[in-house]
Structure 1
Amino acid sequence: MTEPLIAIATPANRERVVASLVAAFTGDPVLRYLFPDEATYPAYAAAFFGHLFDKRVDKETVWTIADGASVAIWEPPHTDAGPSDAPWATLLPADVLDRVHAYDEAVHKALPAAPYWYLGVLGTHPDHSGRRWGHAVMQAGLRRASADGLPAVLETSNAANVEVYRRAGWETVETVSEPLPTWIMQQKPS
């Protein structure tokens, strides 16, 4: 089996990356908590993922396969991983922003104090699922974390993903119960 070509995203990949993530996270517990209305989910999720992409693309920490069909958005150590109030937030009503901030605050209280690489988003468009592209694209950030001698950290609110991540070498280091169950996982540098 041929290894997929992993590339660092550029601004030209934004539209495809955002579309892939909106499709990939349609049933994700966090995204459904943040954006529960079916009618507004696509627009709000696109604003959210677009913001996360825009914050990181110039840091060269967004890795993709097939120009954005599979995506890993990483935050390097010593930077703000949270969704700050920004122009994207003007696209969201106050109740949605309140949920975004409540979730962000709860998760960030549970994150380690020591430096780490943060896997903020990992997703593959459903049309390309089952190819292990998510695992492959995640490895680019894990290699960077290991090269820095630092652990990698992620959070998931999808209980089914906990075992998937465990099989990939992650371990649960913390849990958050409110505003929804979330597992904080870490992988030590190799």
Structure 2
Amino acid sequence: MAGIADRERVVATMVAAFERDPVLRFLFPSDEDYPRHAAAFFGHLFDKRVGKGAIWTADGGLAAAIWEPPGEDEPVASASKESTAIAELPGDARERMRRYDDAVHAAFPSRPYWYLGVLGTHPAAAGRRLGRTVMAEGLRRAAADGLPAYLETSTPGNVDLYRGAGWEVVAEVNDPLPIWIMQQ
């Protein structure tokens, strides 16, 4: 389980892992600004969840899963009132976050669930199955609580990877970009 001391490494891993991700590039399309804006975004997610005991890492932070326990998921864009990092992002980026969050959250169930908000592996550690390792911890917690787990992906190739790990597509969102909602 990650602690505050893991923040820098986890954020760096996520920035590198999501550099070509459709959602992150939708949110932060500028190559010049991506590293700074993505670091603020992932730093916010880390800070919001680290105290909940719901972030797992492997191999010194080269892979991380940032989960949200049931009943606590909140759209990132609405969190700008509590996060200086998010509030300081450009207004157009915050508007894109709001559009994305609204679309995705409308597709999620109203019943309690564990939410895998972010799963990333640093490109230097790709292919070592570290993502499955850190994902498994949250899935164990969901199973222990008797609850389903949900995630979303905007990368078509990831749909098959997640299916191979036992996830199934339960909804699709096409605006603001193609997104698959998956459940296990």
Fold conserved (TM > 0.5)? yes
SS in structure 2 opposite 1:67?
helix
- Correspondence for 2:165: 168
Matched-pair contact (CA < 8 Å) for 1:172–1:184: yes
Extract unaligned runs of 5+ from structure 1.
1-7
Q: In the aligned structure 1, how far is the partner of 2:123 from the partner of 2:109?
A: 32
Displaced runs of 4+ in structure 1, greater than 2 A? none
Alignment equivalent of 1:71, drawn from 64, 68, 75:
64
Q: CA deviation at 1:82?
A: 2.0
- Correspondence for 1:4: none
Q: In the aligned structure 2, how far is the partner of 1:9 from the partner of 1:54?
A: 11
1:48 and 2:41 matched: yes
Alignment equivalent of 2:51, drawn from 58, 63, 85:
58
Q: In the aligned structure 2, how far is the partner of 1:164 from the partner of 1:103?
A: 23
Matched-pair contact (CA < 8 Å) for 2:116–2:149: yes
- Correspondence for 2:153: 156
SS in structure 1 opposite 2:70?
coil
Extract unaligned runs of 5+ from structure 2.
none
- Correspondence for 1:15: 8
Identity %: 60
Q: CA deviation at 1:87?
A: 1.0
SS in structure 2 opposite 1:9?
coil
Q: Which amino acid aligns with 1:128?
A: A
After TM superposition, the structure 1 stretch with the greater mean CA deviation from structure 2, 114-123 or 62-71, is 62-71
- Correspondence for 2:137: 140
> Within 5 Å, which residues of 2 pair with 1:80-99?
80-83=73-76, 84-85=79-80, 86-99=83-96
Matched-pair contact (CA < 8 Å) for 1:9–1:67: no
TM-score by length of 1: 0.93
Q: How many pairs align?
A: 180
Q: Which amino acid aligns with 1:50?
A: G
1:34 and 2:34 matched: no
Q: Deviations over 1:97-149 (max 9, x none)?
A: 10011101110000011110000000010111110000111000000000000
SS in structure 2 opposite 1:180?
coil
Q: CA deviation at 1:80?
A: 2.5
Q: Which amino acid aligns with 1:117?
A: W
Matched-pair contact (CA < 8 Å) for 2:65–2:134: yes
Q: In the aligned structure 2, how far is the partner of 1:174 from the partner of 1:51?
A: 27
